[in-house]
Structure 1
Amino acid sequence: MTPPDRNHPDLVILGNVNVDLIMGPLAQWPAEGEEVLVPELRWRVGGNAGNAALACHALGTDALTITSVGDDLAGTWLRTQLTGHAVHWLGSATPTSVTAAFSHPGSDRSFVTYLGHLQHLSWPDLAPHLPPARAALLAGAFLTPRLRQDYPALLARLNTQGTAAALDFGWPDGGFTPDIRAEILGWLPGVQHLLINELEAAHLTGAATPQAAAQHLAAHLHPHGTVVIKCGARGVVAHHAGREYATPAPTVQVIDSVGAGDTWNAVYLHGVLRGATLDEALQDAVQVASRAISTEPRQFR
């Protein structure tokens, strides 16, 4: 595997890397004062950016992740887990962010996050370390609130230097209010790849189907942009240059679906950067992400 070029990588990943504690399956939330036991626990690198970075490393993508980390036990652990990966760490005096992810019977998940160091990650911190790249993945906007405030400046920088922007903003803590929807739509003219899930698309647009949501969002995107809506076990739908695409997912026995969409993003961008057609990039991303969530430890090929 050729080591990534930190000065001129193909892909830069910007966003949230944190510790994930994954527990479950949890059939029902306990009432206040009660305790329930779960049979499974995993402790691993997480966050939208962290999951994408792991997948890129496994795929051999020429990718550099730029993020912050706390100066504590959890932060030290994160650094050791990503040794050998191309990561530029920005130190933080705030404790490292931790997400408790609860799996439920079936494939639904719930997340409880302590933002910690992520609440201080900002554009002035990142800007001096952002190299020219062919593409950049902006991951977890609503888990990096200070960086999100400067998304217009960040997107302008990417567009000026010829870097294609890919966006997976995640779920806003307060839901999709009118102000939040207006903020997201304001980002889209500078975005070449919008990579979101079905629930986010529905709440952002009010559309009744993923296909209608993709068509609606494509009108707001960069003129050459692609909208992809990830629909879980049903695969993905996409819209590009006036054409609709649909790629079904294989039937698999899900072991752990946390980070499935982040893995999908990494595989899709890996394909795009290697010159794959849109159909090929969509199909490969669905296949690899499906394999990842159905293997333990995760396998990407």
Structure 2
Amino acid sequence: MNAGGASGEVTGGKRDLLLLGNVNLDLIVGPLGEWPAEGTETLVRTARWRVGGNAGNAALACAGLGTAAHTLSPVGRDLGGEWLRAQLPPDTVTWWEVDGPTSLSVAVTHPSGERSFITQLGHLGTLSWADLAPRLGPARITLLAGAFFTPALRPDYPRLIAARRADGGAVALDPGWPDGGFTPQVRAEVLGWLPGVDHLLINEAEGLALSGEADPRPALAALAALLAPGGVAALKCGARGVLARRQGCAEVHELAAPTVRVIDTVGAGDTWNAAYLHAVLRGEALDTALRFAVEVASRAVSTDPRVFV
């Protein structure tokens, strides 16, 4: 589906990009070499609060890139919710308050650059189709992010995807990693969404698990074949860059990542998503969009505070 045009514009009454999914608080601590034994205490060098979640990280990147993006999200009636609402430009988010705490993820960084997450769902457990349906407006692309962290919405993903396509927009999907892994039931569920997806933006481990393949190239081919006509499947491979393939086309696009000094990889894939969609909305060719996304994500993980452009 064509989603060209200039970023930063509202075209034909449509927003460029609509972000739906998990927006929450992140507490990032580390680096931690080994998990502390029960009953002990360990000091870490850094701790910081940040907007988090797949959709939240993408929203931050969109704000940094100047993308005409809008986010829909509930938030808890608590101090965490108050802080979260203050972190994004108010005209770029539609918030609504719900009972209960604001969702929190504790991201623990490790000396290798990898990270581990501990999440309490909080307000994300309430996000549903009934909440979203009256708030949805037309958009050239809708990014569905963090499906496994919005359990009330997840059963209605087929309805949500169909509604976005019926409204004339493209659908991008990054569901994240399911708690419990890609069981046969979860695989069948997600694969059933793909015929309505125009941009599948997942990491290598997710691609292998979802496809059931042992190698990224066969995984990419299998997943691209299931997408909407002309859709793009992209496997984000961390420091190795990205592999991508268009539905109905045998060509594999491979973009290497530059060598950088990694400071913080939390949200790197979500930043990549935002940058890729930003370029797609500008009408860039696939190779150009992939290269831009790799460059932006590499810059983000190697700067503190984060720099996107």
**Cα-to-partner distance string for 1:131-172 (whole Å, 9 max, x where unaligned):** 111000000000011111100000010111111000000010
Q: Distance in 1 between matches of 2:178 and 2:257?
A: 27
Structure 1: gaps of 5 or more residues: none
Q: How does 1:149-160 map to 2 (within 5 A)?
A: 149-160=155-166
Tell me if the contact between 1:247 and 1:282 (Cα under 8 Å) persists in the aligned partners.
Answer: yes
- Pair 1:287 & 2:285 matched: no
Q: How does 1:68-217 map to 2 (within 5 A)?
A: 68-217=74-223
> Which piece of structure 1 moves more, 192-201 or 83-92?
83-92
**Cα-to-partner distance string for 1:201-224 (whole Å, 9 max, x where unaligned):** 111122222111110101111121
Q: Distance in 1 between matches of 2:304 and 2:108?
A: 17
Q: 2:33 aligns with which of 17, 21, 27?
A: 27
Partner of 1:40: 46
User: Cα distance, 1:4 vs. partner?
Assistant: 6.7
- Whichever residue aligns with residue 151 of structure 2, its letter is P
Q: Distance in 1 between matches of 2:50 and 2:9?
A: 23
Task: Compute the RMSD of aligned alpha carbons.
Answer: 1.4
Tell me if the contact between 2:113 and 2:263 (Cα under 8 Å) persists in the aligned partners.
Answer: no
Tell me if the contact between 1:4 and 1:64 (Cα under 8 Å) persists in the aligned partners.
Answer: no
Q: Distance in 1 between matches of 2:57 and 2:223?
A: 25
Q: 1:65 aligns with which of 60, 71, 94?
A: 71
Q: Which protein, 1 or 2, shows the higher relative CO under an 8 Å CA cutoff with sep ≥ 6? A: 2
Q: Distance in 2 between matches of 1:65 and 1:208?
A: 35
User: Cα distance, 1:83 vs. partner?
Assistant: 3.3
Q: Distance in 2 between matches of 1:92 and 1:15?
A: 15
* Number of positions where the alignment pairs a residue of Structure 1 with one of Structure 2: 300
Q: Which runs of 4+ in 1 moved over 4 A?
A: 1-5
Partner of 1:16: 22
Tell me if the contact between 1:18 and 1:99 (Cα under 8 Å) persists in the aligned partners.
Answer: yes
Partner of 2:250: 242
Q: Give SS of 2:152's match.
A: helix
Partner of 2:3: none
> Which piece of structure 1 moves more, 26-35 or 133-142?
26-35
Tell me if the contact between 2:59 and 2:71 (Cα under 8 Å) persists in the aligned partners.
Answer: yes
User: Cα distance, 1:36 vs. partner?
Assistant: 1.4
Partner of 1:278: 286
Structure 2: gaps of 5 or more residues: 1-6
TM-score (norm 2): 0.94
Q: 1:134 to 1:3 in 2, by over 3 A?
A: closer
Q: Distance in 1 between matches of 2:276 and 2:160?
A: 22
User: Cα distance, 1:8 vs. partner?
Assistant: 2.5
Q: 2:276 aligns with which of 268, 290, 296?
A: 268
> Which piece of structure 1 moves more, 230-239 or 207-216?
207-216
Q: 1:44 to 1:3 in 2, by over 3 A?
A: farther
Partner of 1:55: 61
Tell me if the contact between 2:76 and 2:99 (Cα under 8 Å) persists in the aligned partners.
Answer: yes
Q: Distance in 1 between matches of 2:94 and 2:129?
A: 14
Q: Distance in 2 between matches of 1:176 and 1:160?
A: 29
Q: Give SS of 1:150's match.
A: helix
User: Cα distance, 1:3 vs. partner?
Assistant: 8.2
TM-score (norm 1): 0.97
- Pair 1:257 & 2:269 matched: no
> Which piece of structure 1 moves more, 270-279 or 7-16?
7-16
Q: Give SS of 1:134's match.
A: strand
- Whichever residue aligns with residue 209 of structure 1, its letter is D
